Structure 1
Amino acid sequence: MNELKDKVALITGGTKGIGLGIAQALLSQGIHVAITSRSAKAAEETAKQLNSSATKARAIGVKADVRDFESQQNAVRLVLSEFKQLDFVIANAGLGHFASIEELTLEQWQDTIDTNLTGAFYTIKASVEALKKSKGYYISISSLAGANFFAKGAAYNASKFGLTGFTQAVMLDLRQHGVKVSTIMPGSVSTHFNGNEPDSSDDWKIQIEDIGELVVDLLKMNPRALPSKVEVRPTMPPSK
């Protein structure tokens, strides 16, 4: 089992939802965490909240936009300046625009691809040298929508199908350097994604702490074993 204490992780989109659940799980293992957001206020306030309950490690908030490569480079530089190393990178930032192809706008298409797919490319491109040095781990958060298409999902399906394939190719590129690469493909998760307000009716869904636990399990796995693609879905969804 890998020793995780005092390792350092960068999580894009870490102020809420799945990213926040991962940050909480990593801090509980003694992993220092940098969470990013396009909002400096959101990043700093969430880091402060995390630090108020964390006892084994420290969180910092970083303003960064995954759609901008220079912004991602700056985030990595800040993490290295603060912690002197970078061991784990979680490409989690994502969004969804859902509309039929007749109604999907050019702006919605570009925003989805730039955030969900190009953002993941920028994230690993900015951090790859640091991960090679630490023989670290890169994990992207894709979706079951990256394997199963649905109506009004043209932009989201394209971004997540692309992200799944992209991450698998990166895995083949980087394993020769001792860098592990995985993609996690969740089904329905109880978050604020797409305007949802989580309540008791979402109890059947995957919870953010479940994804956090899954990430910890991957990081703890023996270096010789690599689950390169992990699908996770609710055990018992409501009957239709």
Structure 2
Amino acid sequence: MQNIENKVAYITGASKGIGLGIAEALVRSGVKVAISGRDTNALEKARQTLGNQNVLVIESDVRNFNDELKAVQQIVSEFGKLDIVIANAGVGKFASIDEMSLEDWNAMIDTNLTGAFHTLKATCEHLKANKGYYISIASLAGTNFFAKGAAYNASKFGLVGFTQAAMLDLRDYDVKCTTIMPGSVSTNFNGHTPNEDDEWKIQPSDIGQMVVGLLKMNPNVLPSKIEVRPTKTK
């Protein structure tokens, strides 16, 4: 088991949901964590949840590469290094292809796919220097297409392919890359408010536990793609 205490992690889209669940798990494991997002109020609430010690909050839009560069500069200035990157920022808007707006298409591709590229591009040299770990949070929608999901499917299929190719590009630098593909998760995704009817779903804390497990795994082992589902349907 790898010791991850005092490692430094950056998590995008971490003001709530899966990102916050991962942040909570890492903080409990002794990792110094930087979280980013676009909603300053939500980020402040997340800071209160996580506590102020070894937590850095950054306002950043992953669609803007310069935002991600500035975020990395803040992290290294605060913590001195960067070891772990979790590309979690994502949006979902669902409509048939004939009704899908250009704005919604671009929002999903620019956030879910290009945003993940921006995050890795901005952090890549730090990960190489520290033999780090890059994890993208994709979806089962990255392998299973469905009606009214053309844009979301395209972004998540692309994210899975991007992360797997990045894994091949970076493995010789001892940088690990994994994509996690969850099914139904109890989050605020797409305007949903988690409630007691979501108990059957994967919980954000479950994904957090999975990420900690990956980080602690033997350096010689790389689960490059993980599909995870609720044990039962509703």
Tell me, yes or no, if structure 1 residue 180 matches structure 2 residue 176: yes
Tell me, yes or no, if structure 1 residue 159 matches structure 2 residue 155: yes
Say whether the 8 Å CA contact 1:14–1:93 is kept in structure 2: yes
Say whether the 8 Å CA contact 2:97–2:148 is kept in structure 1: yes
Give aligned pairs, total: 234
Amino acid across the alignment from 1:114 = D
CA offset at residue 200 of structure 1?
Answer: 1.0
Tell me, yes or no, if structure 1 residue 4 matches structure 2 residue 30: no
Find the counterpart in structure 2 of residue 79 from structure 1. 75
Amino acid across the alignment from 2:222 = L
Residue aligned with 1:111, SS: helix
CA offset at residue 44 of structure 1?
Answer: 3.5
Find the counterpart in structure 2 of residue 135 from structure 1. 131
CA offset at residue 150 of structure 1?
Answer: 0.2
Find the counterpart in structure 2 of residue 95 from structure 1. 91
Matches within 5 A, 1:175-214: 175-214=171-210
Find the counterpart in structure 2 of residue 220 from structure 1. 216
Say whether the 8 Å CA contact 2:16–2:42 is kept in structure 1: no
Say whether the 8 Å CA contact 1:40–1:61 is kept in structure 2: no
CA distance change for structure 1 residues 15 and 200 in 2, over 3 Å: closer, same or farther? same
CA offset at residue 198 of structure 1?
Answer: 1.0
Quote the Cα distance in structure 2 between the aligned partners of 1:78 and 1:84. 9
Amino acid across the alignment from 2:71 = A
Say whether the 8 Å CA contact 1:95–1:194 is kept in structure 2: yes
Matches within 5 A, 1:55-74: 58-74=54-70
CA offset at residue 41 of structure 1?
Answer: 3.7
Q: What's the TM-score once normalised by structure 2's chain length?
A: 0.98
Quote the Cα distance in structure 1 between the aligned partners of 2:39 and 2:71. 13
Find the counterpart in structure 2 of residue 20 from structure 1. 20
Amino acid across the alignment from 1:210 = D
CA offset at residue 38 of structure 1?
Answer: 1.1
Tell me, yes or no, if structure 1 residue 42 matches structure 2 residue 38: no
Quote the Cα distance in structure 1 between the aligned partners of 2:208 and 2:192. 20
1:97-136 Cα shifts (integer Å, max 9, x gaps)? 1000111001100000000000000000000000011100
1:18-71 Cα shifts (integer Å, max 9, x gaps)? 00000000000000000001133432342233116xxxx611100100000000
Say whether the 8 Å CA contact 1:44–1:62 is kept in structure 2: no
Amino acid across the alignment from 1:216 = V
Amino acid across the alignment from 1:230 = I
Contiguous gaps of at least 5 residues in structure 1? none
Amino acid across the alignment from 1:193 = F
Quote the Cα distance in structure 2 between the aligned partners of 1:48 and 1:63. 16
Tell me, yes or no, if structure 1 residue 107 matches structure 2 residue 107: no
Residue aligned with 1:235, SS: coil
Find the counterpart in structure 2 of residue 31 from structure 1. 31
Tell me, yes or no, if structure 1 residue 233 matches structure 2 residue 216: no
Q: What's the TM-score once normalised by structure 1's chain length?
A: 0.96
